[in-house]
Structure 1
Amino acid sequence: MQIEEIWPNYRARIKAFLHSKVANPADVDDLLQEISIKVFTGLPTLSDPSKLQSWLFQTADRTIIDFYRKNARAKIVDPEDLWYSSDDPGIRQELENCVEPFIRGLPAETAKLLMDIDINGMSQKEYAKAHGLSYSTLKSRVQKGRDDLRKAFDDCCNWTMDTRGNIAEYHLKPDNCKKC
């Protein structure tokens, strides 16, 4: 298979695919050029010619994903868009003092997991490897542990959230939770 045989047959379809995913025509042309280079360099590695079309569109799809990732990183962030810009430091400090006691109130295995990952800064991949767990299993356990931690906070406090999802204020529930 040669690029000269393939590219003319698929170029228009790939360009239409790009137009369906990317609004700016100049970006479409740039991406089409990038895809053609990837096809030219990667074509010799394609072992099954019957998978040519799916390989071409997978290449196009990955190129689009890379394009959006690159543009997301390059975006200039306005301080007004940051979630913490209206955070009340006093409320945050008070609640930070409760995190460890609430974690320690969880089952021992969950507490160790959250302490190592969320408090001590161990990466989830490192933790999974050190404890002989698959990464996907660990991610599920971390999510469940964080949900349990959130429930511990919910059991103890009433929350008021602002429009950005930040805690505007909180009050202890009448049963006077004394976990923190």
Structure 2
Amino acid sequence: MELTTIWNEYESAVRAFLHSKVSSPEDVEDLSQEILIKIQNNINNIRSESGIKPWLFQVTNNIIVDFYRKRARQKDLSVDDLWYERDDPEFRQEMLSCIEPFINALPEDERELLRKVDIEGVSQKMIASEMGISYSTLKSRVQKSRVKLRELFEGCCHFTKNNRGDVIDCERK
């Protein structure tokens, strides 16, 4: 088996696969070159012609994974680059004005509990002590209140989430 024979047969399929996973044509070209090098270096390890295609696509997939890993490592993010780590009073106020009507729609006890915990930042242990209930009971109440709040959000809006479950977009229903 020769490199040119293998590449001529599978090049278009490999490139199509690369284009489906990588947006930049320049990166696709670079990755294609890496694949060619990998084929050249391992061509003698291919035992049968029927194993070429699965092996080639496994190599391609591994190269794509490595490409994204390298890219992720190259980004040196600081805490300042992360919007959710910022203590931005304007952003906080904007988000609060959006969330407040939903919180106000909850029953009074749940509304006040979420205000203290999630808006004012009062410790759940302190609130439990003030209320004379166990910490685990208070945690349960907070979670139940958050579930009700979430149901209100979901009744109003459609959320788009990324693969980690983080909300990345919101649209009114």
Aligned-residue offset at 1:83: 8.3
Aligned-residue offset at 1:7: 0.8
2:117 corresponding residue in structure 1: 160
- Contact in 1 for aligned 2:15/2:28 (Cα 8 Å): yes
Aligned-residue offset at 1:169: 3.7
Query: Using the alignment, how far apart are the partners of 1:44 and 1:72 within structure 2?
Result: 33
Residue 61, structure 1, aligned to residue 61, structure 2: yes
Return the structure number with greater helix share: 2
Residue 27, structure 1, aligned to residue 31, structure 2: no
- Residue by residue, what CA displacement relative to the aligned partner does 1:27-53 show, whole Å, maximum 9, x if unpaired? 000000001100111121122321110
Give the secondary structure class of the aligned counterpart of 1:69. helix
RCO greater where, 1 or 2, for CA within 8 Å and sep 6 or more?
Answer: 1
Aligned-residue offset at 1:161: 4.6
Cα distance 1:36–1:85, how it changes in 2: closer, same or farther (>3 A)?
same
Aligned-residue offset at 1:4: 2.0
Aligned-residue offset at 1:79: 2.5
- Contact in 1 for aligned 2:124/2:135 (Cα 8 Å): no
Query: Using the alignment, how far apart are the partners of 2:6 and 2:15 within structure 1?
Result: 14
1:170 corresponding residue in structure 2: 123
Query: Using the alignment, how far apart are the partners of 1:20 and 1:74 within structure 2?
Result: 23
Residue 75, structure 1, aligned to residue 75, structure 2: yes
Give the secondary structure class of the aligned counterpart of 1:76. coil
**Which amino acid counterpart does residue 160 of structure 1 have in structure 2?**
V
2:41 corresponding residue in structure 1: 41
Unaligned runs of 5+ in 2: 88-113, 137-173
**Which amino acid counterpart does residue 59 of structure 2 have in structure 1?**
T
The structure number with the bigger radius of gyration is 2
Give the alignment's Cα RMSD to 1 decimal: 3.0
Query: Using the alignment, how far apart are the partners of 2:68 and 2:85 within structure 1?
Result: 26
Give the secondary structure class of the aligned counterpart of 1:160. helix
**Which amino acid counterpart does residue 63 of structure 2 have in structure 1?**
T
1:50 corresponding residue in structure 2: 50
Give the secondary structure class of the aligned counterpart of 2:123. strand
Given the two structures, how large is their TM-score scaled by the length of structure 1?
0.50
